[in-house]
Structure 1
Amino acid sequence: MSEQLNTINERLKHLRKNVLRLTQSELGNTLGLGKAAVSKMESNTSTITEQNIKLICKEFNVNYDWLVDGKGEIFIDTDRTTIELLADDYKLRPVEVSLIEEFVKLDEEERNVLLNYLQNVFLKNGQ
């Protein structure tokens, strides 16, 4: 790629315009922003908030490290599971990942029973 993408603002514009092929209005609609806000983010006259960075990454499967630091590929590996992504984001240990995996396999009634038990054990006032 011959285009210099040294800043997050340049990468955002490149992503929107050349990769996703969206207008500023279309990207803004996805983020809950107006066209002017997207324009300001792309031109570095407005800071791109962490909330918007995470939303862009989530909505378009964009690699956070690429968007923020220009490292790696533009898109994340689509074979990774949501739980693997959570494990990375929250630095979960393998035992924590296993617990989450087993929890989500439970049906709704079983999850409710377990949650009620945990609330009674760990929350004195049962919140």
Structure 2
Amino acid sequence: MTQGERIREVRKALGLTLEKFGDKLGVKKNTLSALERGVNGLTDQMAKAICREYNVSYDYLIYGEGDPFDDLPQTVLDELCIQYELDDIDRQIIDLYISLPKELRDKVKAYVLNKLKK
């Protein structure tokens, strides 16, 4: 399988059109189409952008080795949960807190600080 075919496979696995896939990479659909068909070669810069934006394994994209997608955290919150061994409840608490409006977060902080002082 060529690099272009692997790009197409990744794009299809993500359920994206050429246009949608290219939007995140900052390229037009004709550019991606040319890459997928092997008309244009895959630059290292484009390969790294695809890997970064779509969590694709560089070794898979370039050499066809391993799994197409890296099993990496998708968000900073996912990374925190891994780093600090947080369970699902911890994650839900943090997610809830960060989704609150700033005024409400300030009230929660004041409440917690008040309880910690006692």
Letter in 1 for 2:31: A
Structure 1 equivalent of residue 21 of structure 2: 27
Cα deviation 1:77-120 (Å, max 9, x = unaligned): 215xxxxxxxxxxxxxxxxxxxxxxxxxxxxxxxxxxxxxxxxx
Q: Which residue of 7, 10, 14 maps to 1:15?
A: 10
Are 1:73 and 2:67 counterparts? yes
Task: Using structure 1 for the length normalisation, give the TM-score.
Answer: 0.55
Measure, in 2, the Cα distance between the counterparts of 1:37 and 1:77.
Answer: 28
* Structure 2 counterpart of 1:7, one-letter code: T
The alignment covers a number of residue pairs equal to 73
TM-score (norm 2): 0.59
CA RMSD in angstroms comes to 1.0
Higher helix share: 2
Return 5+ residue gaps in structure 1 as ranges. 1-5, 80-127
Summarize the alignment of residues 1-127 of structure 1 with structure 2, pairs less than 5 Å apart.
Answer: 6-17=1-12, 19-78=13-72
Structure 2 CA distance for aligned equivalents of residues 8 and 23 of structure 1? 18
Q: Which runs of 4+ in 1 moved over 3 A?
A: none
Structure number, greater radius of gyration: 2
Secondary structure, counterpart of 2:66 in structure 1: coil
The letter of the residue matching 2:42 is I
Q: Which amino acid aligns with 1:57?
A: C
Give the percent of matched residue pairs that are identical in Structure 1 and Structure 2: 40
What is the CA-CA distance between 1:47 and the residue it aligns to? 1.1
Give the deviation of 1:39 after TM superposition: 0.5
1:55 aligned partner, one-letter code? A
